Amino acid sequence: MVTTMVSAESFVYITDQVEIPIRSESTTQGDNLIRTLPSGTKLSILQATEDGWTQVQYEDTTGWIISRYLSNSPPARQRLEKLSIENSANKLMVSKLQGEKEQLQKALLGLKADNATLAIQSSKAKAEKQHIEQIYQDALKLEHENEKLMQESLQLKTELQLANNNSQIEQDTSSRNWFIVGALVLFFGMMIGFILPNLLKRKRY
């Protein structure tokens, strides 16, 4: 019997639908059955022979199995079960992701609505800011004009006071002049009244 040594990292799988016996020797003769292994059992390959036997290890058990019952890949039924489990898991993941997507879309719509509201509020705030700045500028302008008017008013009051003073002085001067004129008229009247009778008397004589 020729045997072939293989790496301990190599694996094979039970392929038959029924349980396959693992034997202590590479022969079906004699009472050398150790145990049976179900389909899909993963085994480590130790060596193989040209007459159709493979020495394998399963957990703490080492024995021989007919090579035609072994495969380099798990049986189709087991792969199908695994794929079915993965498919179910993927469906759950897709459903979960779909739910998360819907939540994110709702959140996105909410953020867009909030953004639109903020844009409107920002526009209003900008317009109010411009309005307040314009009011402030107008207030400064009015304050400047008010100060100018107050100065002009003070100047007019000063000029009015000067005009009143000049008017009073002119009134006082006019009163004195009229007093002097009246005094002179009275004086000349008295002189005429005194001189004129004497002149008339002289003409008679």
The DSSP result for 157-179, as a single string, is: HHHHHHHHHHHHHHHHHHHHHHH
- pLDDT reported for residue 56: 93
pLDDT tens sequence across 58-73: 999 999 999 988 888 8
- Where does the pLDDT of residue 45 fall: very low under 50, low under 70, confident under 90, or very high at 90 and above? very high
Flag whether pLDDT at 104 surpasses 80. Answer: yes
Question: What is the arithmetic mean of pLDDT over 88-109?
Answer: 90
- Which residues, other chains included, contact 52 with Cβ-Cβ below 8 Å and sequence gap of 6+? 66, 67, 68
Phi/psi of residue 65, nearest 5 degrees: -135, 145
Asked whether 43 and 14 are in contact (CB, 8 A), the reply is yes
Task: Judge if pTM exceeds 0.75.
Answer: no
5-9, 31-35, 125-129: range with lowest mean pLDDT: 5-9
Q: What CATH number does the domain located at 3-74 have?
A: 2.30.30.40
What is the rounded CA–CA span in Å between residue 72 and residue 45?
10
What is the rounded CA–CA span in Å between residue 138 and residue 24?
109
Percent residues over pLDDT 90 in the chain = 18
Q: Give the CB-side neighbour count of residue 29, counting CA atoms within 13 A.
A: 0
Instruction: Name residue 44's amino acid.
Output: S
Q: Give the CB-side neighbour count of residue 185, counting CA atoms within 13 A.
A: 6
Instruction: Name residue 46's amino acid.
Output: L
- pLDDT reported for residue 54: 93
